Amino acid sequence: MNIQFCDTKDGLKTFSLDNVYFHSRYAPLTEAERFAQTIKLPYKAKIIFLVEPGLCYCYPFIKDKYPDSKIIIIRLIDYALPGKDLVENIVKFAEIKNFKSFLIQKFGEEALLSSGLFIWPPAQNLFKDQLLSIVQDYKAALEECKTLLVTRQFFEKKWLINSCNFIINADNFIQFKNTLNLPVLVCASGPSLEPCLNIIKKYENKLFIIALSSAFSPLIQNKIIPDLVLSTDGGFWAGEHLKLLARHPEIPVACPSEAFIPKKILKHNPILPLEYDDSSSFISSQIIKEAGIKAYPALRNPTVSGTALFFANSISSGKVYFAGLDLHAQAGLQHSRPNELEKNNSLAECRLNNKEKLNTRSRYNSSSLAIYEEWFRSIDQAPLLLKTFRVIDSEYEHNPLGQIKEIKSRTFAEELKKIEEPDKDKNNFFSSSEKKAYDKETVSNFILNELEHEKWQKQLFPADFISIQNGSSENSYENLLSKIDKLKNKIRKLLDE
């Protein structure tokens, strides 16, 4: 591309690209002001994206028209043009591999759904392909943001209800006495767990065993008693994997207050409370703090395995092994057996909806595994990676998880054989957590009072607030108030149970 600059008649600069001028050769400021006047938004935009190749003449006029909006210049050419100091942010489109993902990760769903995209008209012919890609990715990002926001709104209420149940029913809180000096084994429920079960049974006294919720049944079936069960899922079906745990009230459970844990388990099993360290978890953090419960820090992650990775590394100075961490659809079963959800599904089996059909459907509905797999691949923390190993044999379909080292089950057994038999006393792992006595009704009233505040409401009903802000519906605010009242009534019913 041949870029040439020249002076305009009013003493400013313009430039051409392959003999196409992108700003007026006479009065580029007047041209920019007229363009800014054409920009109209039906709502108060948090972000205005301006796609242009050039000299940012539009910026001051758009900023004057929308002073509260953040203006992002999406620059179409990779060239050091003047004007960078005039704007809040310039994004070079050529440097971005996945523009849709960039928008979502950089700006978030709430800001994107209150944004507008505008294109500097002289760019539309010469940059036709780039502009088509930008517009398509922007629209796709908005659609994904809508889905994310609706999903978040659905789960935010569930997480709050789960936190209320946690506060009302949990009582026997524990904490670690000391950092462990044992290797930690995290058991997930992929099919590759099965060849490890005999090894785990043989050497369980040399390991601190963490069972992820869906791996609990296979371990119990093989008479392996885990030292801790870890569950983070807030959905009802996660509780199905924990049904057997009710028969083992001696086994501790590590969970955030947001997780769905059956009430019987909260009442009778020792609970190691976890607290996520991100700002989006402020509601559960405030509830835990109000109750005076001491919680162990944890990483929020799309998959419980990701939370378990950092948790396991934080509690032990020894190696961390993963078994059953397949994160890849298999030709047959997608999990180790027994599996509680598979048991439930088997009740609906018939000639037209047989086990093979259910397994095939499960395999092709495993797109979330790719997201989890990509997250593990992206880990770049040397101290953590040096002590983390994935146990998986070659007959199982899998992809490498970035820098996480892989070993075969035979090697895993050989490493455990070399470890000197420790004095593993389960009573030495945990102690009762010191906590102030709290009135559960007082904490519940605290929750009801906080629901009156906009900060909590925005977190719990993000889609409604976007709708109100954008003026999408005349009755948006009344609908929001109705939803808040329903949520309050649900919390009151929990108190009365």
pLDDT in tens, 147-182: 888 888 888 999 999 999 999 899 899 999 999 989
Give the strand pairing for 13-17 and 253-256: unpaired
- Residues with Cβ < 8 Å from 66, sequence gap 6 or more? 39, 41, 45, 48
- Amino acid 124: pLDDT: 84
Least confident of 54-58, 142-146, 321-325: 54-58
Least confident of 57-66, 192-201, 263-272: 57-66
User: Nearest to residue 372, comparing CAs of 309, 302, 442?
Assistant: 302
Least confident of 151-165, 292-306, 325-339, 441-455: 325-339
Look up residue 52 and give its amino acid. E
Please give the radius of gyration of the chain, using alpha carbons only, rounded to the nearest integer: 28
Longest CA–CA separation in the chain, Å: 87
Over residues 451-478, the mean pLDDT reads: 84
Over residues 310-314, the mean pLDDT reads: 95
179, 315 contact by CB (below 8 A)? yes
Please state, rounded to an integer, the average pLDDT across all residues of the chain. Answer: 85
Helix axes of 476-496 and 462-470: crossing angle, nearest 10 degrees: 160
- Residues with Cβ < 8 Å from 423, sequence gap 6 or more? none
Kindly state the tokens that stand for 480: 């929001």
Over residues 426-447, the mean pLDDT reads: 79
> CB-based burial of residue 274 (10 Å sphere; 0-12 exposed, 13-18 middle, 19+ buried)?
buried
Model confidence, pTM:
0.78
> CB-based burial of residue 287 (10 Å sphere; 0-12 exposed, 13-18 middle, 19+ buried)?
buried
Residue 4's pLDDT band, with cuts at 50, 70 and 90, is: confident
